[in-house]
Amino acid sequence: MLQLEEVPDYLPCREKEYKQIYDKVKSAIEEFSGHRIFISGQPGTGKTATVRQVVKNLQRKIMQKELHPFEFVEINGMEMKPPEKAYSALWEALTGDCIAVKAAEDLLSKTFNEPSQRNPIVLMIDEFDAMVTKTNRVIYNFLEWTTLQDSYLIVIALTNRIDLPVTMLSARSESRIGLDRLTFAPYTHTELFTIVKSRLEGIELFENNAIEFAARKVSSISQDARNALCICRHAIGILESLAKTNEEINNKVTIDIVKDAIKKTNTPWSKYIRKCSFRAKMFLCTLLLLRRDGNLEIELKDIIGKYTKLCRKKGIQTSTCTELSNIAYDLASSSIVSMDPSKDIYAQIKFNGNEEDVNMVLSDDIFFRDLVK
């Protein structure tokens, strides 16, 4: 229940925002009309979780035959490099066919311009700001398609940047396209307490003051609900370890256990790794797996080979040798790994005593969890 991807039946402290999104999306589906919703707010304010809950409950309406069926597609802007990759990602999600970017763009344009018996499409683009470019051609295309009479396309764009529509769209364009804007305010410590408590309903594993302490600590630093869930999840792991070695241990998470969990989840390295790009995390994941295989001397060329295999396994586009070399140099310059750049692909790469932090952060990420578990 504390996993970030878990979609609870009820999401507390976002009732107002939930209703606004639910009503707009439901209305667009019923009317077979396009729509654009722009949701902004700092990380961990419940944007993604709220949209997922809206979709989950609308899908229940379909099962109850109270709503026309619709397709739901979720993509992450951080993984759309270049942004044009979003065309292929959407087309593959809708049809199962993996095709070239240009072909996907042409087919999507044709599909959205022609009348048909298609189901409406709800497209959630998380980390929308990662797709911003000088021309914003991809973003404009998606927004333009929602204005077409026969597109039935509903775009929900999520971003951490509140100013994005202002900097991205001209006043004339925004007025013509007609964005619905919602801003998610940071959580208070009381709201963070309520969120964690609701996830643990019926599960008596925490003392109330331990949850209260975690909520206040997170509120004073980031107001990020994901951090509160992460801390409490690691606190359960610590309790489990203690219970295996000490029969006298209290069977509940206490403030002291939460303090221990905070130390382990908020190390400088873990904070840095969480902020790394998707490709950098993939690089660190590759190095971690090679270390687990018993390789003591790992060269950049070994990482490049393993990285490519992992990308194929996951069905994602790989990176070039140059791109991976640049990632290695960036990680080395940040001291997260050590290497001798002068040796190029033969440079040995090692963790700088932070292997445990890498494993912990990647284990919390739904994409990497099955690779590092």
pLDDT at 317: 85
- With 0.85 as the threshold, say if the pTM is over it: no
Q: How far apart are CA 348 and CA 345, in angstroms?
A: 8
Collapse the DSSP code of 73 into the 3-class scheme (helix H, G, I; strand E, B; otherwise coil) and give the result. Answer: strand
Q: What is the pLDDT along the chain (373 residues), one digit of tens a residue?
A: 887 667 777 889 999 999 999 999 999 999 999 999 999 988 789 999 899 999 999 999 999 999 999 999 999 887 887 899 999 999 999 999 989 999 999 999 999 999 888 999 999 999 888 888 888 889 889 999 999 999 999 999 998 876 665 555 555 455 555 678 899 998 999 999 999 999 888 888 999 999 999 999 888 876 788 888 888 988 988 888 888 877 667 789 999 999 988 877 766 677 788 888 899 999 999 999 998 887 767 899 999 999 999 998 888 888 888 888 888 887 886 778 888 777 778 889 988 767 878 888 898 888 888 888 7
pLDDT at 165: 57
For position 171, what pLDDT does the model report?
53
In whole angstroms, give the CA distance from residue 144 to residue 151.
Answer: 10
Res 168: pLDDT: 59
pLDDT of residue 134: 80
Beta-carbon-side half-sphere exposure of residue 89 (alpha carbons within 13 Å)? 23
DSSP per-residue codes, 267-280: -HHHHHHHHS-HHH
Q: What is the pLDDT of residue 285?
A: 94
Report the pLDDT value the prediction gives residue 323, as an integer from 0 to 100.
84
Rounded Cα–Cα distance for residues 18 and 344 (Å) = 51
Q: Locate all alpha helices (DSSP H) within the chain, ordered by sequence.
A: 15-31, 47-63, 85-95, 101-113, 137-146, 164-168, 171-177, 189-199, 208-221, 225-245, 255-265, 268-275, 278-292, 300-314, 321-333, 355-363, 369-372
Identify the pLDDT of residue 113.
93
- What per-residue confidence (pLDDT) applies to 160? 80
